[in-house]
Amino acid sequence: MEVTNEAITARIYVALELSKSRWVVAIRLPGTGTTSLYQVPGGDLDGLMTLLHRARSIAEQRGSDELEICSCYEAGYDGFWLHRALEARGVRNTVLDSASIKISRRRKHVKTDRTDARGMLGVLMALYRGEDDVCAVVRVPSEEEEDRKRITRSRESLLHERIRRTNRIRSLLHLQGVRSINPNRDGWEHQLKDLETGDGRSFPKGLLREIRREAILLTTAKRLLAQINREIQAISQRKTRRRTGRGANPVAVRLCAIRGIGPQTAAVFASEVFYRSFRNRREIASYVGLSPTPYASGSVSRDQGISKAGNRRARRDAIELAWLWLRHQPGSALSEWYHRRVADGVGRVRRIAIAALARRLMIALWHYLEHGVIPEGAVVRT
């Protein structure tokens, strides 16, 4: 966290513990060693600002001339709207990564909204003292960057829904010994007419009506999924389609120029990873969760595998892309490195190597987007 060297004589530190029903607000005024706790109804921004203005007035009465209100809350259910609202009202807000906050392991951890608010307040004060290792700070995307993520995440949700409905229909059919119907094939609903059970009895009417209801939900999911796939296709093309109402994403277009990277993968990387800037290769590997996690203590030294602490959607697609890269880019330097590393290895050796290939591939794509350097030996679509 970067703290500017502004001439601030005093700071009011504020920590917000958010929930649906209430917000617990911890406030520490300058020159005091005590923390005051308050409550406002969940989502009551005006009530929160009234509380902060009152704290400012009290601090000014105690002799603080120039004040800055510094607040924080954990990333979660409320997203980033509150951060933008506070920043627009002159509050300097920080969004904390809750998973990175260190807790004591000496005893059972006491967890209440009040203790969490106090703990966050201590973390915020430590960050402003320059102790960057106490907690990770979440980079807040712009409204446009956040909105771009919706289409790929909506597609992911619809894919799960399609699989769920397909499995549900299959399980209902299997209850009566019917195994020949595949809901993924076109026209499968026609097979429901005059359907019989596995032992030759007429199919139960109530069960058949339930299957038809599931079929309607499955058809809806497939239709919406096809619509989203067309939109993603347009995002990754140089020329946009008017009917989608979306413009092409330059990052996705450039990624699609490399053989083996399709529109879906390009859209995920463009919206989840490469919309932000990275200073070095370690940052990109860490953000995707593909960085190694060594364990070294005394005479014990071993590798615990990848961290899995980054963007899970990007990590999943990076692993899938690594397998596709071996198929579509067999002559590239990365594919040759993988084959030298694996040789005749199978199982765990291949899984470890493919994770390493995914990490190298993400770094190579970052260099390609930042500096125009095509991965060595890679084939580009014409």
Per-residue pLDDT of the chain (382 residues; tens, 9 = 90+): 555 444 445 899 999 999 999 999 999 998 888 899 999 999 999 999 999 999 999 988 887 777 899 999 999 888 999 999 999 999 999 999 988 887 766 666 778 889 889 999 999 999 999 998 888 899 999 999 999 999 999 999 999 999 999 999 999 999 999 999 999 999 999 999 989 999 999 999 999 999 999 999 999 999 999 999 999 999 888 654 444 455 788 999 999 999 999 999 999 999 999 999 999 999 999 999 998 888 888 888 888 888 888 889 999 999 999 999 999 999 999 999 999 999 888 888 899 999 999 999 999 999 999 999 999 999 998 7
Q: What is the DSSP string of 103-170?
A: ---SSPPP--HHHHHHHHHHHHHHHHTT-GGG-PBPPPPPHHHHHHHHHHHHHHHHHHHHHHHHHHHH
Domain regions of the chain by residue span: 10-134, 143-248, 251-371
Residue 36: Cβ within 10 Å count: 13
Distances (CA, A) of 274 to 187, 235, 270: 41, 15, 5
Residue 237, exposed/middle/buried by CB under 10 A (0-12, 13-18, 19+)?
middle
Alpha-carbon gap, residue 359 to 85, rounded angstroms: 37
What span, in angstroms and rounded, lies between the C-alpha atoms of 373 and 364?
A: 8
Strand order in the sheet with 92-96: 36-41, 22-28, 10-18, 67-74, 92-96
Whole-model pTM: value is: 0.82
- CB–CB of 241/230 below 8 Å? yes
| Structure token pair of residue 242 | 């008017």
CATH 3.40.50 for the 10-134 domain, yes or no: no
